[in-house]
Chain A
Amino acid sequence: MNAASEPDRELVQRLRAGEMGALGSLYLRHGAAVRTFLRRVEPTLSHEDADDAGQEVFLTFHSTLARYEERGNLRAWLYGIGVRSMRASRRKAWWRGLLRARHGEGAAGVALRRDDPEARLGARDQVGALLAGLPEAQREVLVLTALEGLTVQQAAEVLQIPENAVSTRLYRARRALGEAR
């Protein structure tokens, strides 16, 4: 069986046994998904920043491998590391400054013109600005469930919060986005 078709569980077991090539295989398999997730949960993240942050997620996964429990979805576990990594980044003053510089203080609440294709293309950035304007907790839940396809239960595990909190945040996020029509 080659690495491309080897189940995650077996790659993780090989990694636990010290076979570092397995980390590379996991990165090739899940790296794009993690980078995509990071770029969605942090709408200001460039491709280059996402590449670096994605590597950090996998390095953190490796250094905390003892804590990983092979009962669930590896990708969800990586998303959890990514969420905490993004939160830590946001706590830094330079990061807050970058956000303000890119989007200004009043990024939320942009009205979109749905009937004009050109406006639709331009609207993508506005959607990003709108999402960036959501509270971090709501944006994380929205990205995990609506865009990454996780269930409420999985999202709750990733964020380490109760399922009811996930559904409440999801409702609020949807409502906030709905009001921007």
Chain B
Amino acid sequence: MTDEELRAWADARAGRAPTRSEADALVGRAERRRRAGWLWWLWVPVIPVGLGAAAAAVVLGVWLTRPAAPVAPAVVVAPEGVAPVAAPRSLPPGVHVVGDDQVEVGAGGEVVLTAPGPEAVWTLTRGSVAVAAATRAPGEQLTVTSDDWTVRVVGTRFVVTHAPFTVRVDEGVVQVGRGAERWTVRAGDRFERGVVVRPPPPPALPEVEALRQQVLGGDRQGARAGLHQRLAARPGDADAWTLLAQLEARDGRPDDAVAAWREVIARGSPAAAQRARFEAAVLLERRPAEVIPLLEVFLASPDPLAAEAGLRLGRARLAVGDREGAVRALEQVAREHPGTGPAAEAMQLSK
């Protein structure tokens, strides 16, 4: 039986994808089994159960009515060598720590700390400022002003630019105001020219697991397209290369499969690369000159498939006329894996 026949059979044995109603039925069955699992409680004497339940209720009540713990403010750690400064003062370009906040004034920029304390006001006179503001307690706030613009925050990370006035929020939410007008700018948003702009999200890449499901569902072309899309964006994704190699091998395209396995060898973990060498060597059986370097590297590390790999290496060397090298590999298989099938075959071949 050939590998192609085995794969054709395997494809024909693909199972059906569960439907939502089947999933709901499964959840229902699991719920019933779980409930049934608790029936043994009926055998427990009633009085101890009642006492235990009462005690548990008391403990629960005490726990539920405990005073709420105060929320600790987030801590911004100062970069090494940056000393905290006392407000109010003018901050030149560079990184500064003011209280628990971290401020990075851009080149050519200036920030004046016009009001210290719990309702701090910083004035951006020129350039831009990036702020990692610590979480404020109720009643406290930080305001950044720039001309007639104001930015109020309660714990966030954002960048304000003086001219043209823009705000980019990296974390949390800030409120931008001018006069009576107010704009809420959330993480990922940018405020510019008086409007909040949300940049379009980058197109989501298909996950390898979802693509594997697609293969199992029979949509190989779709899966292949998804894999190429993913690999164009993330060429270092060894899992995607592995799935592509398996897909190409299944579809009877050994050259493409070998090319994908070579990517796994170059980019994957040592274990993934080791497996890729073996798989590529199996696919390249009819090109022994290419098999030899793959298996020589493969056999340099201990592996459960070493016996079979050694046998394949011996065969490949025989095929290219390297009888001496072949005998060496075959004798090594016979010596290191006695009693195994590959060893028996290696002994026969080496005679």
User: Contact at B26–A23, with CB atoms within 8 Å?
Assistant: yes
User: Contact at A32–B341, with CB atoms within 8 Å?
Assistant: no
Interface residue B147 (Cβ < 8 Å from any Cβ of A): no
User: Contact at A31–B341, with CB atoms within 8 Å?
Assistant: no
Interface residue A146 (Cβ < 8 Å from any Cβ of B): yes
Q: Which of B27-35, B106-114, B128-136 sits within the interface?
A: B27-35
Residues of A within 8 A of B33 (CB): 59, 62-63
Q: Which of A25, A62, A63, A163 has the most CB of B within 10 A?
A: A62
Q: With the chains together, A28 CA to B207 CA distance in Å?
A: 16
Name A163's contact: one of B14, B27, B31, B304 (CB within 8 Å).
B304
User: Contact at B18–A171, with CB atoms within 8 Å?
Assistant: no
Across the interface, name the chain B residue whose C-beta is closest to A36: B15
Chain A interface mostly helix, strand, loop or mixed?
A: helix
User: Contact at B213–A23, with CB atoms within 8 Å?
Assistant: no
User: Contact at B305–A62, with CB atoms within 8 Å?
Assistant: no
Q: Which of A47-55, A86-94, A95-103 sits within the interface?
A: A47-55
Closest chain-A Cβ to B35's Cβ sits at a distance in Å of: 11
Name A127's contact: one of B9, B20, B27, B216 (CB within 8 Å).
B9
Q: With the chains together, A33 CA to B215 CA distance in Å?
A: 10
User: Contact at B5–A123, with CB atoms within 8 Å?
Assistant: yes
Interface residue B118 (Cβ < 8 Å from any Cβ of A): no
Q: With the chains together, A170 CA to B275 CA distance in Å?
A: 15
Closest chain-B Cβ to A156's Cβ sits at a distance in Å of: 8
Q: With the chains together, A51 CA to B217 CA distance in Å?
A: 15
Interface residue B16 (Cβ < 8 Å from any Cβ of A): yes
In this complex, how many residues of chain B approach chain A with their Cβ under 8 Å: the count is 48
User: Contact at B27–A171, with CB atoms within 8 Å?
Assistant: no
User: Contact at A27–B15, with CB atoms within 8 Å?
Assistant: no
Q: With the chains together, A163 CA to B9 CA distance in Å?
A: 26
Residues of A within 8 A of B193 (CB): none
Across the interface, name the chain B residue whose C-beta is closest to A43: B13
18 more A-B contacts (CB under 8 A) besides A23-B27, A24-B26, A171-B340?
A: A20-B27, A21-B27, A24-B27, A28-B18, A28-B20, A28-B23, A33-B15, A33-B213, A40-B13, A51-B18, A63-B33, A112-B1, A112-B5, A124-B9, A128-B9, A151-B271, A170-B305, A170-B308
Residue positions of B touching A, CB distance < 8 A: 1-3, 5-10, 12-18, 20, 22-27, 29-31, 33-34, 37, 207, 209-210, 212-213, 216-217, 242, 246, 271, 275, 303-305, 307-308, 340-342
Residue positions of A touching B, CB distance < 8 A: 4-5, 20-21, 23-25, 27-29, 31-40, 43, 47, 50-51, 54-55, 58-59, 62-63, 112, 114, 120, 123-124, 127-128, 130-131, 146-147, 149, 151-153, 156, 163-164, 166-168, 170-172, 175, 177-178, 180-181
28 contacts between A and B (CB under 8 A): A23-B26, A25-B23, A27-B18, A27-B26, A32-B14, A32-B15, A32-B217, A33-B216, A35-B16, A35-B18, A38-B15, A39-B15, A43-B13, A51-B16, A51-B18, A59-B29, A59-B30, A62-B30, A123-B5, A123-B9, A127-B9, A128-B13, A149-B246, A152-B303, A152-B304, A163-B304, A171-B340, A175-B341
